[in-house]
A and B are shown apart, each in its own frame.
Chain A
């Protein structure tokens, strides 16, 4: 689709330090979080498949290891979801806004002494 808007220098925006900072910061959370949740989930599935006796062991009466581990998956989803939401609101959105503002004002490459988005973040 030739949606490319000729008036915007997308490559310059992509190279700009604030855009790089945005994607690096996002990656620093999303990548480890994705590896963690996939590992924790696949570990759970592997245990369910290959270690049914362990999963059936009782923790307290009818409550067994399997159900408890399943609940940890729920907790993991809730916690990671809220963590991402907070980081996105506090860190990524202000950075993205900076990128957009610079691009719209025609200053894809900011002056070096610019205060930068660090302050915005903290």
Chain B
């Protein structure tokens, strides 16, 4: 059941097809590149359904596909806990942020803060939150890409990271948000099709009876197995489970590349319908992941664990090979190649979204509004955005290659979610809802959130003094997931900064933000609308 280390020809061919299709899209999008609104918001021309697919494509990383299927394969129920958190998170996004972001923002989450707070400190703080999240998430995805492509296609780790990085930069630099959106849509369709076909193949083996699947999965274990249909095998510390759960459900509402997608639709109505589309696509996906995960356990059994690699990441591709007829058969190799290509497309779509949001923080927030104070031309803003994207991408490629396979991917993704939930989410939510909130509160809150997440992860038992050592840096603190401490700290920072500073929020600006975020009055128009309608209040 080992995935062949030698170059997999079928996989290379399918990879080439996927890559060519995305490059054609990028070329098409580059012809439509007109300015900053096109670069970051695709001219606000993406429909609700398209954006729902693109959100799914932006959100479902390789960790969701290969990672969760692998965790379910090795540990059982605990893998599914992640899925539940990842999905429920969209209610937070929908109820608290999606429409308000669309109505109040322009290109980045910092726009919403800068609307009513002192521009330069607020933007700098928000850009720092965005860049921290994007950096950890991006490096994690790049390392994951390298490991997977190396294992699945047989090309070298460094080369795999390089190819991923170059493709990602092509989409973003030449095609901006429009190309990124369509890469994400194609990826979502490929991923859903791939996992649906796999699920049908799995269910066919158990007479389309999911309960029989659970029975067989449970039976296919040995004394050495960590697998269980119940919880507690992977997440063994209850308080850590709760901490992780809270970070997942609030963190999504602070992920800059997800929130940025709401700027691409014409109005708040499309923003909320896109969340509902995303909910059904992502929810359906996570239910199917359990069929793949439990199916891998039922069909591959304990012998498949060694072949599935660290964290069981290769369980899904191995299962595909098995379902296609097994190693060495044409069907087996082909199905493996298809699933490998789907996994690759999955990574590309996520990293492109991340680089785009990071370029917004650097070019739109820091360069255009903090350094140049809005005096730069739109042409300059887009040029700086492209340079920023190239630099961020290059740095991520170098760190991923130098850090190599030794970088702990799951800890970096956990950290990204913790920072998003503890720094970005409190500041955004309070800026939109708390009249008294001020600049000092936003800056303190973001600082508290970012610093506490990072420090708590560094002193956690998994990281300090090393993965194999017993206990963390502090004897009384042994959480692997900082959320339960760092999220309240983020909110406390926002509160203390606000009440301890003399600055009073500008009432009139809050009134404007409040009305605008709730009704869409004065919101950024879509390209088509702006031509049709005169400016607000003729």
CA distance A22 to B237 in the complex (A): 44
A69 and B523 CA atoms in complex are apart in Å by 40
Residues in A whose Cβ lies below 8 Å from that of B507 = 11
Q: Which A residues between 5 and 34 are near B, CB-CB below 8 angstroms?
A: 5, 7-8, 10-11, 13-14, 19, 22-23, 26, 30, 33-34
Judge whether B521 and A103 touch: CB under 8 Å: yes
- Asked if B521 and A13 make an inter-chain contact with CB atoms under 8 angstroms apart, the answer reads yes
Contact A11 B238 (CB under 8 A): no
Whether the Cβ atoms of B230 and A52 lie closer than 8 Å is yes
| CB proximity to A under 8 Å, residues B487-525 | 507-509, 511-512, 514-515, 518-522
**Within 8 Å CB of B512, what residues of A?**
3-5, 8, 10
List B contacts of A64 (CB < 8 A): 77, 214, 229-230
Residue A120 lies at the interface, judged by CB distance under 8 Å to chain B: no
Q: Does A121 sit at the interface, judged by CB under 8 A?
A: no
In the complex, the answer to whether B519 meets A19 with C-beta atoms within 8 Å is yes
> Does A91 sit within 8 A of B, measured CB to CB?
no
Given A11-B511, A48-B77, A62-B214, 5 more pairs with CB closer than 8 A: A34-B92, A41-B85, A50-B238, A61-B211, A67-B229
Q: Mark B234-261, 1 if CB is under 8 A from A, else 0.
A: 0101111110011001000000000000
Interface residues on B, range: 35 or more
Evaluate contact between A34 and B91: CB separation under 8 angstroms.
yes
Question: What mask results when residues 71 to 87 of chain A are scored 1 for a CB within 8 Å of chain B, else 0?
Answer: 10110111011101100
Tell which of B85, B218, B235, B518 touches A26, judged by Cβ atoms closer than 8 Å: B518
A49 at the interface (CB under 8 A from B): yes
Residues of B within 8 A of A14 (CB): 511, 514-515
Task: List the 7 closest pairs (A to B, CB-CB), nearest first.
Answer: A56-B230, A62-B214, A49-B238, A45-B245, A49-B241, A52-B232, A10-B512
Total A-B Cβ pairs within 8 A:
186
Q: Tell me the dominant secondary structure on chain A's binding face.
A: helix
Contact between chains at A77 and B91 (CB < 8 Å): yes
- Tell me which residues across on chain A come within 8 A of B228, comparing CB atoms: 56
Contact with A along B15-29 (1 / 0, CB 8 A): 000000000000000
Q: Is the pair B91, A46 in contact by a Cβ cutoff of 8 Å?
A: no
Residues in chain B within 8 A of chain A (CB atoms): 77-78, 80-81, 83-85, 87-88, 90-92, 94-96, 99, 111, 114-115, 119, 210-218, 228-232, 235, 237-242, 245-246, 249, 269, 272-273, 275-276, 279-280, 283, 286-287, 290, 369, 507-509, 511-512, 514-515, 518-522, 536-537
Contact across chains for B230 and A78 when beta carbons are under 8 A apart: no
Any B CB within 8 A of the CB of A109 = no
Chain A, interface residues (CB within 8 Å), range = 35 or more
* A78 with B515, Cβ < 8 A, contacts A56-B231, A66-B231, A100-B520 known: no
Tell me the complex Cα distance, A104–B237, Å. 57
Q: Is the CB of B80 within 8 A of A70?
A: yes
Majority DSSP secondary structure for residues of B touching A: helix
Query: Which of B91, B240, B514, B522 has a CB less than 8 Å from the CB of A80?
Result: B91
Give the shortest distance, in Å, between B410 (CB) and chain A (any CB).
18
The contact sample of 26 A-B pairs, CB cut-off 8 A, is A1-B111, A4-B512, A11-B511, A14-B511, A30-B95, A34-B91, A44-B84, A45-B241, A48-B232, A48-B241, A61-B211, A62-B217, A63-B211, A64-B77, A64-B214, A67-B80, A67-B229, A74-B283, A77-B87, A81-B91, A88-B272, A93-B269, A96-B518, A99-B519, A100-B519, A104-B537
Given contacts A11-B507, A22-B519, A30-B95, are A77 and B272 in contact (CB under 8 A)? no
- The reply to whether A22 and B518 contact each other, CB–CB distance below 8 Å, is yes
Q: Please, how many angstroms separate the alpha-carbon atoms of A67 and B81 in the complex? A: 10
In the complex where A81-B91, A100-B520 touch, is A49 in contact with B239 (Cβ < 8 A)?
yes
Asked if B242 and A49 make an inter-chain contact with CB atoms under 8 angstroms apart, the answer reads yes
Q: Which residues of A contact B237 (CB under 8 A)?
A: 49
* Complex CA distance for A50 and B92, rounded to whole angstroms: 25
A89 on interface, CB distance cutoff 8 Å? yes
